[in-house]
Structure 1
Amino acid sequence: MTATLDKSAQGSTGEIPSFEVTLKVRRYLPESEHGDEAYWDEYTLTMYGTDRVLDALHKIKWDHDGSLTFRRSCAHGICGSDAMRINGRNRLACKTLLKDLNPSKPITVEPIKGLPVVKDLVVDMEPFFASYREIMPFLITSGNQPSKERIQSAEQRERFDDTTKCILCAACTSSCPVFWTDGQYFGPAAIVNAHRFIFDSRDEGAAQRLEILNDKEGVWRCRTTFNCSEACPRGIEVTKAIQEVKQAIIRRAF
């Protein structure tokens, strides 16, 4: 990679190096001449050391090919809408710096696996959210509405703190080989969000959720390959959470 300096990028903090990078994007345009066949398009761009993959996709769409379709919203790693496979790994495009991907070689960008592709990098998220809804991702309590705050200690909160970080990007679920081959499997994200409530001291729906996840397509389909933990952009220990849910089911059964 040969870096050059763009004088227009100069400022009080100095010059920002620019470089040439090629993005190889997997396209799927069912209304085009390609029909239902996916294909690859390549775009060579001039980018900067501070740019992320999302910046490159914006440049393609705004300056080269307006038909390129992808999801994005906050651009700060919070909304989770721009999860995609970048160089064969699930990542958020807004958090992945181009310079960290060896831009001297083409960077491949394609939709996440295991979910139906709607167009280009956009997949149908409904199967993913159907599993999420099934584990009842909300606080379940009995009786009337409380007259005061439900107090929780720091230790009780810490018990499930890790799994509250999920942003529902589907990076973990769509990195799972079981999910790729079995469309009925709940998937890591649904189990992570069940964990968040199962171990919440204020919740009374743990037994219901554990019964749901004890199903043949629940936690027992996990093969502990750690793909999910590696894919999570929030650093959640996904595999650990799944194992803790398995242990909770065993304790309840015996």
Structure 2
Amino acid sequence: MKEVEITVFRYDPEEDNAPRYESFTIEAKKNMTVLDSLFLIVEDQEPTLSFRCACRLGMCGSCGMLINGRGRLACRTKIEHLGDKIRVEPMRNQLIIKDLSVNMDKFFKNWEKVKPYFVPKEDTDEFSVIPPGSGRREIIDENQDCITCGLCFQSCDAVAIRGENFIGPAALSRAYNLIADERDGARAERLDMVTEEDGAFGCHTFGACVEVCPKGIKPMVTIQKIKMKKLKKTIGLKW
């Protein structure tokens, strides 16, 4: 075991005039995660510290935080890879509820804007099943693992610059999955919707979303595919 200093962002909007940082020393064991350290702090040193978590397996996405300045899932980030001093802060581009807990309403409202659900065609016989070997499934497979953790949204400079007016990388990736699915009855409507000013063309291609995704999804690449589909549709090509 070794001693590690965990510096945590503290702020309660209902009580504090300004944010502050508070440091705690813990005994770190092998394979201990940042989330484990936060539980230790709550149990042994500061029971009022607030943060969000659920599955502890990297599946639910609820423990997204800034850890040493980078968006990560606290439950999948091992202390031994970070050194003896660790700083933990809430995700950016979201309102702070308390300490490390943020309000995700802005993220999910933008998610809802793209109609993130399958809309069947009136006659679905032709495309009701994706034939094996057709290659259609591979088009969207790389985006299927999104856990809506919001790490790409909090890292996105376009969101930081334009606020909630920019839909954001996660919602655009979800939109692409449905636009690329030929069985979906709203794909043309959805493509037009996400290529307006607040959609795909608002992406500045900084690439931060690609760097932080815990599932290896590349929203920036997907957004470029949306732009290409819009271009093809505009000039009358098959998209």
* TM-score, normalising length: structure 1: 0.88
The offset of 1:36, in angstroms, is 3.4
| Aligned residue number for residue 27 of structure 1 | 10
| Aligned residue number for residue 71 of structure 1 | 52
Deviations 1:203-223 (A, max 9, x none): 122111111111111111111
Whole-angstrom distance in 2 between the partners of 1:73 and 1:144: 41
What amino acid is the match of 2:154? S
1:192·1:241 contact (CA, 8 Å) conserved in 2?
Answer: yes
What amino acid is the match of 2:4? V
Larger radius of gyration: 1
The offset of 1:144, in angstroms, is 6.6
| Aligned residue number for residue 153 of structure 2 | 173
| Aligned residue number for residue 138 of structure 1 | 117
What amino acid is the match of 1:133? E
| Aligned residue number for residue 232 of structure 1 | 213
Deviations 1:66-95 (A, max 9, x none): 111111000111100000100000000011
What amino acid is the match of 1:164? Q
State the identity as a percent: 34
| Aligned residue number for residue 182 of structure 1 | 162
**Equivalence map 1:185-196=2 (5 Å):** 185-196=166-177
SS in structure 2 at match of 1:244: helix
Deviations 1:139-183 (A, max 9, x none): 11122787x953343411111001111100000111011101211
2:128·2:183 contact (CA, 8 Å) conserved in 1?
Answer: no
Whole-angstrom distance in 2 between the partners of 1:246 and 1:82: 32
1:45 aligns with 2:44: no
1:124 aligns with 2:107: no
| Aligned residue number for residue 188 of structure 2 | 207
Whole-angstrom distance in 2 between the partners of 1:177 and 1:201: 32
Q: CA RMSD in A?
A: 1.7
User: Which consecutive unaligned segments of at least 5 residues does structure 2 have?
Assistant: none
* TM-score, normalising length: structure 2: 0.93
Whole-angstrom distance in 2 between the partners of 1:157 and 1:178: 30
Counterpart selection for 2:140 from 150, 160, 164: 160
SS in structure 1 at match of 2:231: helix
- Number of equivalent positions: 233
1:111 aligns with 2:90: yes
Whole-angstrom distance in 2 between the partners of 1:231 and 1:86: 11
User: Which consecutive unaligned segments of at least 5 residues does structure 1 have?
Assistant: 1-17
The offset of 1:132, in angstroms, is 0.4
